[in-house]
Structure 1
Amino acid sequence: MADKRGIARIGARALGGLIGAGVAVVAIAGATLLPLPDFAIGAPAATVRPVPADQQRVCPGPVLALAADSGSATQASPIGEATTSYGTDGPDVQVTDLKPDSDGGHGSETPQALTVSTPHGSRTPPLFAGAQLQNAASDDLAGLTSAACAEPAADTWLVAGATSLGQTSLVLLANPTSVDATVSLSIYTETGTVSAPGATGIVVPAGGQKVVPLAGLAPAAAAPVVHVQTTGGEVVATMQQSFEQGIQPQGAELTGGTGAPSRQQVIPGMTIAGLAKVTAAQSGESVGVEFPAVRIFVPGDKDAEVTIGAVGEEATAAGTSYAQTVKSGNVAEIPLENLKDGSYTVTVNSSVPVVAAARTTSIGTKTRDFAWFVSSEPLRDTFLAAIPSGAGGTLHLTNASEKDQKVTVTPDGGKPTDLVVPAEGAANIGLSANRYTVTNADGLRGGVTFAGDGLTSAFALAPPGPLAAPIDVYAH
């Protein structure tokens, strides 16, 4: 029989062990649950609020002609003068003439930089807009041209131009900044990428302009697309295209940058006029007369399955849609058939990011012209639109939402006018030369067109770039 004292000693020891373990558990749990002293040291930081930069826009200046002086085949010369309209709700606009890459003089014969100071502490840039218009007429170059005065950028896509027979295209680079800009041009055509040694390392001097003839880099190109990239200063890039058949000028246009590569591109306000005359001219095999078309480039390495929809604005016949595959690295032009005279919103939906723009031709009683329409970005609630004097202007607004949107258009010194932009539709309003404040336009996309007998031109409306946001700076 076991010793009762031994059993008691063993039991006491086991009990003591259990009690000790329990105390340890309680101690650990207490250490876990009870708040411990916080000895962490926060990293010292300071919030830096950048001084808002001045807002800048650049108007590209008058159209240029090469070899106007027989003594210099590559020298550009201005043809006539452009009229400019601009305005702001902030401080006064400061106008600076940029040094032209031509034999032009001053003022309306040169690119102009428009500058407005941004008040300190502003969270949004001031309302600011400018545009130019010119009805050029010479023995070699004629046509209606217009352009928005645009913000400088380090990356721009130009979807326009041609260097085939009778076509002349110039890439206009304007640098309003205080440092030189080094520009590289990547050029793509219907046959693929163009290898052009002279397309890189192009220096655009501070406060100056550089004119690059596209034919010297991509000769005999029917459908070029140019990607403009810069280091150093930023530039405003514009494509000038003109067409001459025999000795007869057949139109001219200035085209700004289109939207960055995206799976959807929206082109507002594509206007078709005199399509019956265009059809008759095509039947007669007239060179340079083309049906409305969309030019598309696929910058990636995958082919694009593209659907194009053309929807008529109010009082315009309903549009239609098109589907096509566009090869990667190549430029394609897709004709927009079965349309009637009127204004349309063209929407390009793609399986991969693309860039796009649309082109139309106008034939009048004595003259012929063409226009390029680029894609645009959503606008803010309130913006300014500038309409230069010359041909009658039309403001086009496109609404992708599921609700009608009523905007108010107010001219400087005039009475406001309401315009209802229907859901998933578009509307337009005719405007005379003036500056206009447009309110309740958040999310809409817009453009401005000009038209006359055998004259046509267009530019897109773009929202301003954002101001610099506050930055938290941490010390090492």
Structure 2
Amino acid sequence: MADKRGIARVSMRVVGGVIGLGVAGIAIAGASLLPLPSFQVAAPVSTVKPVPADQQRVCPGPLLALAADAGAATTASPFGAPTSTYGADGGSVDTRSLKADADGSSRGEAPQVLTVATPQGASTPPLVAGAQSQSATTDDLAGLATSSCGEASADSWLVGGSTALGQTSLVMLSNPTSVQATVNLSIFAETGQVDAPGAAGIVVPAGAQKVVPLAGLAPSVAAPVVHVQSTGGQVLASLQQSFEQGIDPRGVELSGATGSPSRVQVISGMTIANLATIEGAQSGEGYGADLPAVRVFVPGDQDADITVGAVGENGTAAGNSYAQTVKAGVVAEIPLDHLKDGNYTVTVRSSVPVVAAARTSVAGAKTHDFTWFASSQPMGDTFLAAVPSAPTPMVHFANPGEKDQKVTIEGRNGKPATLTIPAEGAANVKVGAGMYTVTGGDGLYVSVSFAADGAASSFALNPPGPLAAPIEVYPR
């Protein structure tokens, strides 16, 4: 028979163990329910505001003659030097020449780079502007060509040119940066994208210009549009087009990039002159290639419903409107018929993003010429306008807003001029060659045109590229 006291001792130990386990469980549960001390360290962060960079503009350089040397049929050679006008609102403008694709006889026969240093501690960069002009009077090239000096870019659109019979178009790629640029050209035509293997991987050395004859990539194209994309260095893309009918030159133009794809494109200052003379020269086979038209390209995969409005500037005809459907991936030209001589603002509205530019021609007593009018971006409140030496310069303002807008134009010499731009309207003012400061221009579209007997040209003004926004840096 078991010892009763032994059994009691075992029972007490069991009961004590159970009680101990219960107490431990309660303690653990209580600890889990009590708030634990917390310790948090916020990630260190600092806000960095980028310092405004020095401002740089590139002037495309002289007009080029293709196959001027019989031993180099595909070489574009410069002839003469353009006249340049440039300036800044603070500091001096440093100039340097890029290495031309074909060396000229002087330093001026090459693209020019304009650089203005940003003062230390400045929160905004200085304003700078430049432009160039050149008249051609050779047996193969005749006409007036002007161009604004623009910012280099990694992505731009050239709307203009032709490689049809008698037409020569050159894509001019200027690389002002210190690194090599690799450029791809996507070429589109009235039949869609052009298969051009040689258009990819074009190397533009640092500090140099490369000229690409468009006919070698897209022959017999009446209405090309070129999308220029670069990696590495950025480039200024320009397009030189010349027209020769038989042995008679009929114009030359140097056009820059248009506005990037958008559902609304605004073309300010389109000028029509001596239209009756041009219409009288038609063969009767429809709307002639010399008559006013808008070239439109739809870069997406959806067809575009296009509406084009041409509204006359102050003192000109009322204008007209046009509607057309343009297929995706193709280039179309919309005739601007039933217009009279005058200055117009052309607005292209589309159901999908497009790029656009307008073209007109002028016939003089002895010579002919044509002009491309590029779409542009709205300007800021204060900007500089460079007007090179060329016949009858005129500054055009287009106001898409709902209120009249007053601008002041002040040259380096002379009294300031004030101009009122009506709401949803436009106005122009004649100026002389030189540098001008424009205030009150916020949201306006601006261009500069030139005209003489049998000569014409134009270029659009664009605002400087946007400043970099402040960024937050988290060190590791």
Tell me the TM-score normalized by structure 1.
0.91
- 1:273 positional shift: 0.4
Partner of 2:423: 423
Structure 1 pair 342–262 and aligned structure 2 pair: CA distance change class (3 A): same
- Alignment gaps of 5+ in structure 2: 1-33
Partner of 2:206: 206
CA distance in 2, matches of 1:161, 1:40: 64
- 1:472 positional shift: 1.2
CA distance in 1, matches of 2:286, 2:318: 29
**Structure 1, 131-140 or 221-230: larger mean CA deviation:** 131-140
Secondary structure of 2:463's match? coil
Deviations 1:196-252 (A, max 9, x none): 110000000100000000000000000000000000000000000000011110000
Secondary structure of 1:125's match? coil
Deviations 1:338-379 (A, max 9, x none): 100001000000000000000000000000000000111110
Secondary structure of 1:152's match? coil
Aligned pairs for 1:32-431 (under 5 A) are 39-283=39-283, 289-431=289-431
Secondary structure of 1:107's match? coil
Q: Percent identity?
A: 66
Letter in 2 for 1:105: S
Secondary structure of 2:290's match? coil
Structure 1 pair 338–286 and aligned structure 2 pair: CA distance change class (3 A): closer
Partner of 1:18: none
Partner of 2:21: none
Structure 1 pair 130–61 and aligned structure 2 pair: CA distance change class (3 A): same
CA distance in 2, matches of 1:284, 1:134: 34
CA distance in 2, matches of 1:105, 1:58: 20
- 1:392 positional shift: 1.6
Letter in 2 for 1:196: A
Q: CA contact under 8 A between 2:52 and 2:124: conserved in structure 1?
A: no
CA distance in 2, matches of 1:87, 1:37: 66
- 1:118 positional shift: 1.5
Q: CA contact under 8 A between 2:173 and 2:237: conserved in structure 1?
A: yes
Structure 1 pair 423–38 and aligned structure 2 pair: CA distance change class (3 A): farther
CA distance in 1, matches of 2:352, 2:295: 16
Letter in 2 for 1:88: A
Letter in 2 for 1:112: Q
CA distance in 1, matches of 2:338, 2:444: 27
- 1:45 positional shift: 1.3
What is the RMSD of the two structures over their aligned residues, measured on CA atoms?
1.8
Q: CA contact under 8 A between 2:96 and 2:114: conserved in structure 1?
A: yes
- 1:414 positional shift: 1.7
CA distance in 2, matches of 1:395, 1:181: 34
Partner of 1:461: 461
Partner of 2:24: none
Q: CA contact under 8 A between 1:76 and 1:103: conserved in structure 2?
A: no
CA distance in 2, matches of 1:146, 1:424: 28
Partner of 1:7: none
Letter in 1 for 2:152: P
Runs of 4+ more than 6 Å apart: 284-288
Letter in 1 for 2:41: I
Q: CA contact under 8 A between 1:79 and 1:138: conserved in structure 2?
A: no
Aligned pairs for 1:427-438 (under 5 A) are 427-438=427-438
Q: CA contact under 8 A between 2:133 and 2:390: conserved in structure 1?
A: yes
Partner of 1:15: none
- 1:286 positional shift: 12
CA distance in 1, matches of 2:37, 2:85: 67
Q: CA contact under 8 A between 1:245 and 1:287: conserved in structure 2?
A: no
Q: CA contact under 8 A between 2:379 and 2:462: conserved in structure 1?
A: yes
Partner of 1:441: 441
- 1:317 positional shift: 0.6
- 1:106 positional shift: 3.3
CA distance in 1, matches of 2:433, 2:459: 15
Q: CA contact under 8 A between 1:281 and 1:289: conserved in structure 2?
A: no
CA distance in 2, matches of 1:236, 1:61: 11
Partner of 2:20: none
CA distance in 1, matches of 2:326, 2:206: 39
